[in-house]
Amino acid sequence: MVSKLRALMTHEQRAQEDEWAAQIKLCAAREAWRKQKQFVPSRKMTWARWWEKKFGEGETLNEFARRMQREKEASTE
């Protein structure tokens, strides 16, 4: 269903949605990083594992953090 909705969006709307998704992913990573070794309320997994299942796309929380750090350093140079 999401792809059908994206097909109806303009290029600008898709770009805005992509930007919002990236911001959500980053905010979730920051929160998960703070408590990465703690268990989620259901006690089924750690916060790091939760983030990887929800947003990881093959990338661990640590890998994402390192990549974001490199991007931040590159943008300040």
For residue range 48-70, what is the model confidence (pLDDT) as tens digits?
999 999 998 999 999 999 999 99
What pLDDT score does 56 carry?
Answer: 87
DSSP string, 5-37: HHHHS-HHHHHHHHHHHHHHHHHHHHHHHHTTT
What pLDDT score does 1 carry?
Answer: 56
Q: What is the pLDDT of residues 5-23, one digit of tens each?
A: 878 889 999 999 999 999 9
